[in-house]
Chains A and B, each alone.
Chain A
Amino acid sequence: MKKTFCQGLRLLIIVMISMMMLTVVGCQSKTAAPPAEKPPVEKVEDKGSWKIGFIAPLTGPVSSMASYTLEAMQVGIKQINESGGIHGRPLELIVEDDQTNPTMTIAAAKKLIERDNVIILNGPLLSTFSLAAIPVVEEEKVPNLTHGAAIEIVKPIKNWVFKLPHTDTLIIRAQLEYLSKVKGVKNIAVFHQDDASGMSGGGQLQALSGEYGIMVVAVEKFAAADTDMRPQLLRLSRSNAEAIAIVGASNPVGVIAKNAKEVNIKIPIIGSHGAVSNQFIKIAGDAAEGIYFIGPKSVAGEYLDANDPFKKGYDKLMKDLNKEFDIFHGNGYDSIYLIAEVLKIAGPDADRNKVRDAFEKINNFTLVNATYTFKSDNHDGPQADSLIPLVVKYGKFIPAKN
């Protein structure tokens, strides 16, 4: 008995030593491992920079969205750092990939908050992940500028969560407004994606349509990776709908446009801001012509008047972007400039609390995708003034005239 106990004890000691060694080694490599995304500029002093955390689905089916957002963020950071930073300190972006998995979103948030001590959390992208991160930022009391569009993110209001993209409600209302006032339709079909934004948008279309004198006569769903929408479109075409309102992302909406042309759907189709990207046009090809969307003016940025309030920001971004504009570029860029403004207001000794309070002082701040206002009882930033009806003509998004 004693012998085995001694053996056990010795084993325990060995284990203790090996564990210590392993964790020491592990700790070393951990600090070396996931590299922080440093802005492409002069070397950044760790102590001196404002640390901004960013969570995005950099791997997975919607990674392109994340890449666009990130590119534009880096442009924004470069521009700001080159003009001296905020209160003399540069901005530093620390990026975490949540692998399009809400469980990983939470792990990423905790890492950024505790390990990297970020002063503010930028992202996550997409409503599902934004919602997942909410409990974490509320508990840890970290200001969160989130990139999800679903209204549940800010209704009911959360102390620490601030919304960047247009709430789907605004988009939905704009869609309904356009359909009733400009197109004069009375019956519509709703075709929405089966993810968080899509469900939210689809629900709101049905709930709000009455206010515009429109009746929803058919509802269909699609999944993000669906490559054949013909069955649903055929079902929709059997109803007496005079138009189709869509809530969904570029890839499936591209297929919808293509399929709609195939099965000879002639009624107007209007999509949401989730699909106003060149990817949509690429996939839909010729079928993209004549499809309407509600989106921010920036999407048709090239065609804006010189004195349009959104033209200035658009040009400033495009000057350094060197890529075709995508709505996610706008989001990324705006998020950085919003954060910069918030830091400015919070002062040189800003901490998380001051940053949170500073958000609520932002009023009518016009950037690329929207004009932002945050109030103590409303953390839904973007106003509707930048939203316009768009249409695809000759392979480009232009403001819709009729």
Chain B
Amino acid sequence: MDLVYLSQLLITGITEGSIYVLVALGTVIIYKCTRVVNLAQGEFVVLGGMLMATLTGVGLPIPLAFVLTLIIVALAGGLVAILGFRPYLKRNIPFGTIVVVTIGIHMFLKMAIMLIWGKLPISVPAFSGGIILEFYGVYINPQSIWVIALTGLTLVAAIYFLEKTLLGKAFRACAENRFSARLFGINDDKMLLIALMLSGVLGAVGGATIAPISYIKYDFGMMYSVNGFIAAVIGGLDKPMGAVVGGLMIGLISSFGAGLFGAGARDILVLATLLIILVLRPTGIYAGKAGG
């Protein structure tokens, strides 16, 4: 197996992995805030792709379309928080059951997307044209660079938000310990809104950037949700950095698995990795801050 081939697989892996990172991070954020795993996370990704397609379709320049997409999905996230999460959290329903609620949210969003955009696959224009770059025999789709770059930027922005802004710090406090945060006057509902809106934006960045590489379809959501969940668990369900590690891991295993052993091996390798981690180190492989 030569270097060119392996490099090709590496790039594919990081590209794919970036989306999983974004979804996993969104999952972790919501989990830390509510102890609920959101299985409707993937729908934000699909929304991101769909909105980009529509907004660029009506003639908006790509950067504007991108920003608008993020805003709209953030609003959608807010709606999900208010209608889909808050009523249940207020009633102290067990967390496992709320996950089932998120399945219901997923179904509803999937239908909404289908009614708006139809059942057919939708193409999204590439950000910087379709010319493939070549680098010593390795072919790089410029869109991959966009995926990786924008994911990185989003992560940096997210970290900035969480570490440096007042709102972000309040959010972290809430995520760490809801009860004490409440004692300090931090508004629960507001934090829930932030969690969902932030996760929505993260997912949307993923969808908007990766859709041009192949296509986007209304029923892609669950696949992203499950992979994001797997990535989050591998990294440690309550560790944001773990989500990054987990997401990249899954992307790479997926790409190298398919590339080295054939398509059938892809799923099995990812799942086997998950199972091994669960058996050996269920709290996740990222040795970040202990506890959560």
Nearest chain B CB to A279 CB, angstrom units: 6
Contact indicator A234/B9 (Cβ below 8 Å)? yes
CB within 8 Å for A231 and B258 given contacts A238-B5, A255-B215: yes
Complex Cα distance, B6 from A238, in Å, reads 12
Name the contact of A230 in the complex, choosing from B12, B119, B223, B266 (C-beta under 8 A): B12
Contact indicator A251/B217 (Cβ below 8 Å)? yes
Nearest chain A CB to B16 CB, angstrom units: 6
Contact indicator B263/A228 (Cβ below 8 Å)? no
Give the chain A neighbours of B9 by CB distance below 8 A: 231, 234
Q: Say yes or no for A225: interface residue by CB 8 A criterion.
A: yes
Complex Cα distance, B223 from A61, in Å, reads 13
Give the chain B neighbours of A220 by CB distance below 8 A: 262-263
The residue in chain B whose Cβ has the minimal distance to the Cβ of A286 is B130
Contact indicator B120/A227 (Cβ below 8 Å)? no
Nearest chain B CB to A259 CB, angstrom units: 8
Contact indicator B139/A262 (Cβ below 8 Å)? yes
Give the chain B neighbours of A223 by CB distance below 8 A: 263
Give the chain B neighbours of A19 by CB distance below 8 A: none
Give the chain A neighbours of B119 by CB distance below 8 A: 63-64, 67
Complex Cα distance, B218 from A61, in Å, reads 9
Complex Cα distance, B108 from A213, in Å, reads 54
Highest count of chain B CB atoms <10 Å: which of A60, A221, A263: A263
CB within 8 Å for A283 and B262 given contacts A227-B215, A254-B215, A255-B214: no
Contact indicator A279/B258 (Cβ below 8 Å)? no
Complex Cα distance, B121 from A300, in Å, reads 22
Q: Say yes or no for A222: interface residue by CB 8 A criterion.
A: yes
The residue in chain A whose Cβ has the minimal distance to the Cβ of B4 is A234
CB within 8 Å for A225 and B132 given contacts A63-B119, A263-B8: no
Contact indicator B263/A222 (Cβ below 8 Å)? yes
Contact indicator A261/B132 (Cβ below 8 Å)? yes
Interface residues of A in 55-71 (CB under 8 A from B): 60-61, 63-64, 67
Q: Say yes or no for A373: interface residue by CB 8 A criterion.
A: no
> How many CB-defined contacts (below 8 Å) exist between A and B?
83
Q: Say yes or no for A180: interface residue by CB 8 A criterion.
A: no
Instruction: Write out, one digit per residue, whether chain A residues 218-245 have a CB within 8 A of any chain B CB (1) or not (0).
Output: 0011110111101110110010000000
Contact indicator B214/A221 (Cβ below 8 Å)? no
Tally A residues with Cβ within 8 Å of B: 34
Complex Cα distance, B130 from A279, in Å, reads 19
Interface residues of B in 252-280 (CB under 8 A from A): 255-256, 258-259, 262-264, 266
Q: Say yes or no for A87: interface residue by CB 8 A criterion.
A: no
Name the contact of B263 in the complex, choosing from A232, A238, A263 (C-beta under 8 A): A232
Complex Cα distance, B258 from A194, in Å, reads 14
Contact indicator B262/A251 (Cβ below 8 Å)? no
Contact indicator A264/B132 (Cβ below 8 Å)? yes
Complex Cα distance, B126 from A286, in Å, reads 12
Contact indicator B264/A61 (Cβ below 8 Å)? no
Q: Say yes or no for B54: interface residue by CB 8 A criterion.
A: no
The residue in chain B whose Cβ has the minimal distance to the Cβ of A255 is B214
Q: Say yes or no for A34: interface residue by CB 8 A criterion.
A: no
Contact indicator A262/B255 (Cβ below 8 Å)? no
The residue in chain B whose Cβ has the minimal distance to the Cβ of A65 is B119
Give the chain B neighbours of A61 by CB distance below 8 A: 217, 219
Give the chain A neighbours of B141 by CB distance below 8 A: 262
The residue in chain A whose Cβ has the minimal distance to the Cβ of B16 is A228
Nearest chain B CB to A71 CB, angstrom units: 14
Give the chain A neighbours of B259 by CB distance below 8 A: 230-232, 234-235
Contact indicator B263/A264 (Cβ below 8 Å)? no
Highest count of chain B CB atoms <10 Å: which of A226, A235, A238, A251: A235
Complex Cα distance, B132 from A39, in Å, reads 49
CB within 8 Å for A194 and B132 given contacts A63-B119, A227-B214, A231-B255: no
Contact indicator B262/A235 (Cβ below 8 Å)? yes
Contact indicator B220/A285 (Cβ below 8 Å)? no
Q: Say yes or no for B213: interface residue by CB 8 A criterion.
A: yes
Interface residues of A in 21-53 (CB under 8 A from B): none
Q: Say yes or no for B154: interface residue by CB 8 A criterion.
A: no
Nearest chain B CB to A350 CB, angstrom units: 36
Complex Cα distance, B16 from A222, in Å, reads 17
Contact indicator A251/B139 (Cβ below 8 Å)? no
CB within 8 Å for A194 and B16 given contacts A63-B119, A251-B215, A283-B214: no
The residue in chain A whose Cβ has the minimal distance to the Cβ of B267 is A223
Q: Say yes or no for B56: interface residue by CB 8 A criterion.
A: no
Highest count of chain A CB atoms <10 Å: which of B132, B215, B220: B215
Name the contact of A221 in the complex, choosing from B120, B121, B139, B264 (C-beta under 8 A): B264
The residue in chain B whose Cβ has the minimal distance to the Cβ of A67 is B119
Give the chain A neighbours of B215 by CB distance below 8 A: 227, 251, 254-255, 283
Instruction: Write out, one digit per residue, whether chain A residues 287-324 have a CB within 8 A of any chain B CB (1) or not (0).
Output: 00000000000000000000000000000000000000
Complex Cα distance, B120 from A254, in Å, reads 13
Complex Cα distance, B141 from A285, in Å, reads 15
The residue in chain B whose Cβ has the minimal distance to the Cβ of A60 is B219
| A–B pairs, 7, beta carbons within 8 Å | A61-B217, A67-B119, A220-B262, A227-B210, A230-B8, A234-B5, A255-B214
| Seed contacts A234-B5, A238-B5; 20 additional CB < 8 Å A-B pairs | A64-B119, A64-B120, A220-B262, A221-B262, A221-B263, A222-B263, A223-B263, A228-B12, A228-B213, A228-B255, A230-B259, A231-B255, A231-B258, A232-B258, A254-B121, A264-B139, A279-B120, A282-B120, A282-B121, A285-B130
Closest 7 CB pairs of A and B: A231-B259, A227-B214, A231-B258, A221-B263, A255-B214, A263-B139, A283-B215
